[in-house]
Amino acid sequence: MIEHILFDLDGTLADTADDLANALNAIRLKHGLTTLPNEVIRPTVSLGGNAMIKLAFDLEEGDTGFELIRDEFLNYYRANIAQETCLFEGMEELLNSLESENKPWGIVTNKPSWLTDPLVKAMSLDKRAACLISGDTLEHRKPHPAPILHACKLMQSNPATTIYIGDAQRDIEAGRRAGTKTLIALYGYIDDGDNPADWCADGMVSSPFEIHDKLSEFCN
């Protein structure tokens, strides 16, 4: 039986893509470039800031100008962190159901705490989540299992009765290595070139509305 639920943040719990795309395009405009369509940026969101900088500016970490661009991008995003961000449709209903069933839920993300904390607070989730693990909480980040194991420790949960839900291959790898059940959020930021069927998850969902029923399946 699944007793504790852990979510990735961007692309699983919350739809953050528009705010991140707006920040990226604002910096492109600052540097004399045209904006990119949000649908082009969206698949890179779960890959992190470095991947977004590579997409928008053709810069790799270590290239001249990379650090400056990344700082401008992240600082702009921090100042406008929850303008359009919201829970995915059906997620509020799911969280309410979990809370009514006394099933604690938490967040494990690779997003750094200086961005995670204000975002979660702006969405009024800081008092609801049983734990919040950011990318800099520990020495290791996903796909290392340590963040998920740390979340289980904080929630006093057994990984075997915990599920981790994410929209990236590293999410599923981290959950599997930690010994939790895993669920792929197909509604998240998955690139057309990805093949989630190869990630060896315990299940997939196309919408948050499907998650509660999927959790019930693990009880049978």
CA 115 centroid distance within chain: 12
Task: Classify residue 28 by its DSSP letter.
Answer: H
Amino acid code (one letter) for 195: N
Q: What torsion do the CA atoms of 137, 115, 170, 108 make, to the nearest 10 degrees?
A: 50
> Is 171 an annotated catalytic residue?
no
Please tell me which residue in 10, 15, 19, 171 is annotated as part of the active site: 10
In this structure, what token pair is assigned to residue 166?
């994410």
Q: Is 8 a catalytic residue?
A: yes
Q: 141: which residues sit within 8 A by CB, 6+ positions away?
A: 110, 135, 147
Q: Cα–chain-centroid distance for residue 153?
A: 20
So which residues are the catalytic ones?
8, 10
